[in-house]
Chain A
Amino acid sequence: MSDVPPRPADVAEILRVEGGRALASLVRTLGDLQLAEDALHDAVVTALERWPRDGVPRTPAAWLTVVARNRARDRLRRESHRSDKEEAAMRLLEPDDGPERPPSESMIDDDVLRLIFTCCHPALAPETRVALSLRTLCGLTTEEIARAFLVTDTTMAQRLVRAKKKIAVAAIPYRVPADHELPDRMPAVLNVIYTVFSEGHTASAGDKLVRVDLCDEAIRLARVLWALLPDEADVMGLLALLLLTDARRATRVDAHGDLVLLADQDRAQWDQARIAEGAALATHALRRSVGHAGPYVLQAGIAATHATAPSFAATDWAQIEAFYAMLEAVTPTPVVALNHAVAVAEVHGPQAGLALVDTISGLDQYHLWHATRADLLRRLDRRDEAADAYQRALALDLSGPERRFLLARLATLTAPG
């Protein structure tokens, strides 16, 4: 126990983070996510009474686990009718080897990794994996998650209850996949973390504060995963990508909430500590996966090249073009092809870029395809065609800042001179 009484806000934050770890440990002992959540809730109530008075225990997750196990035992004893599953949990809770020992920190870490793979199991719907991870691994409340994803509390509560029921009834296992299964299972885990981050990063609607928290939660989850799987290049790449993207958070929109292009962002305001950490991780991940780099590693490489460039003009576009070419080989989507074409335009000129852009099909309804064509045509001084392309982009569904930006560009074309 520490000597100085902790501040209530600190207690709340420690409980949220360490509560997630304790939950993972409880799922293993109790064999059921709902039972584990109920038991943890009881332990958190006790902690809220005691910690502000007595100080925070040295190993909070282990403390919560032991208290929650005792509460679960009391709960189960009180109930005369028990399901088979609860009988089984009861037996697990009766220690044969004397007084109960708290779990070690490394045991809890292993449990966290198991729970990550359970929450991100491919048998759950992608949006459910995200919600369940935020609930169990990040300790967000159902209401917070509902607000973040712009659905009602009831809808989100139902989604979570259903997911927990499916995990229990269909016996979705609570284990770390074997090495040979990892390539199949890892993408779902990485995708959940990436989705949490992009929800926080790109959303223009909803509660700003919660949204920003999602970015922090995604980075925290990526750090946890990397600490548990330090040799996985894709995990390293994802963490690097999130850090490098987040480092530019403050400069992405201006005081009016308008989008600021990379070329116009104030690089002095970028978070240099995050960039240094992210760039080092990206380099490491790229070295580890030469010849077979995954999409997150390659995107981290691109983000690192941008973030470490002294100015937009001094960006190493040849390097970025090379990364996009590799990314296009791994994930051949029209949007990646478009980004590749933009890089080609920077290296070999707008004519070469435009030639590539015009070979991409399927992006008729994507405003950035029209906006990119418009920009390249403008740079080639083909003003009428450029104006036409801006009009096509503006005819599509756009956010306010994007619309204002394109209108401003269109105005420069029609202005005299």
Chain B
Amino acid sequence: MPIYAALIYGEDADWSDPAYAEQTSEYAAFGEAAAAVLRGGAALQPTHTATTIAVAGGRGGDMVTADGPFAETKEVLGGFYLIEAADLDEAIAWSAQIPGAWHGKIEVRPVLPM
């Protein structure tokens, strides 16, 4: 069965902040409900903790390090799940139950099989 990445976009949040306790418990409930189809996932620290790196001039070139995320946007990638589903409809149905679907948006992308 195909695996889909459900990428969660929304506000740039620090999930450990007690202000987000309600949302985190929503996520805990989703994790339990979807346990049978979840194949992985993570919540990410806020973008002010991000470092973006690139190697200039091809492999072995100079590494350039910059503070901050790849792109400065209002809605940011805050976490993701890997969902195993029979088809896109099933993946969409699960994704619609991720709290990020009502706090922000979910991008569903099939994972390239390796």
Determine if B110 and A170 form an interchain contact, defined as CB atoms under 8 angstroms apart: yes
Determine if A123 and B110 form an interchain contact, defined as CB atoms under 8 angstroms apart: no
CB closest residue in chain A, given B110: A170
Determine if B87 and A173 form an interchain contact, defined as CB atoms under 8 angstroms apart: yes
Determine if A172 and B110 form an interchain contact, defined as CB atoms under 8 angstroms apart: no
Report how far A173 CA is from B93 CA in the complex, Å: 13
Determine if A123 and B92 form an interchain contact, defined as CB atoms under 8 angstroms apart: yes
Q: How many residues of B contact A (CB 8 A)?
A: 11
Taking chain A's interface residues, is the majority helix, strand, or loop, or is none over half, making it mixed?
loop
Size bracket of the A interface: under 10
Determine if A171 and B92 form an interchain contact, defined as CB atoms under 8 angstroms apart: no
Give chain B residues whose Cβ lies under 8 Å from the Cβ of A170: 2, 4, 88, 108-110
Question: Please, what's the 1-or-0 string for B77-106, where 1 marks a CB less than 8 Å from any CB in chain A?
Answer: 000000000111100100000000000000
CB closest residue in chain B, given A168: B110
Q: Does residue A313 face the partner (Cβ distance < 8 Å to B)?
A: no
B5, chain A: closest CB distance, angstroms: 11
Give chain A residues whose Cβ lies under 8 Å from the Cβ of B110: 169-171
CB closest residue in chain B, given A174: B87
B101, chain A: closest CB distance, angstroms: 15
Report how far A169 CA is from B2 CA in the complex, Å: 9
**B108, B109, B110: most-surrounded residue (chain A CB, <10 A):** B110
A327, chain B: closest CB distance, angstroms: 30
**B4, B86, B88: most-surrounded residue (chain A CB, <10 A):** B88
Report how far A237 CA is from B88 CA in the complex, Å: 30
CB closest residue in chain A, given B93: A181
Give chain B residues whose Cβ lies under 8 Å from the Cβ of A173: 86-89
Report how far A380 CA is from B2 CA in the complex, Å: 67
A165, chain B: closest CB distance, angstroms: 11
Report how far A36 CA is from B4 CA in the complex, Å: 25
Report how far A84 CA is from B113 CA in the complex, Å: 11
Interface residues of B (CB under 8 A from A): 2, 4, 86-89, 92, 108-110, 113
Interchain residue pairs with CB less than 8 A apart (12): A84-B113, A169-B110, A170-B88, A170-B108, A170-B109, A171-B86, A171-B87, A171-B110, A173-B86, A173-B87, A173-B88, A173-B89
14 further contact pairs, Cβ within 8 A, besides A169-B110, A171-B88, A173-B86: A121-B88, A123-B88, A170-B4, A170-B88, A170-B108, A170-B109, A171-B87, A171-B110, A172-B87, A172-B88, A172-B89, A173-B87, A173-B88, A173-B89
Q: 7 shortest A-B CB distances, which residue pairs?
A: A173-B87, A171-B87, A170-B110, A172-B88, A171-B2, A170-B88, A173-B89
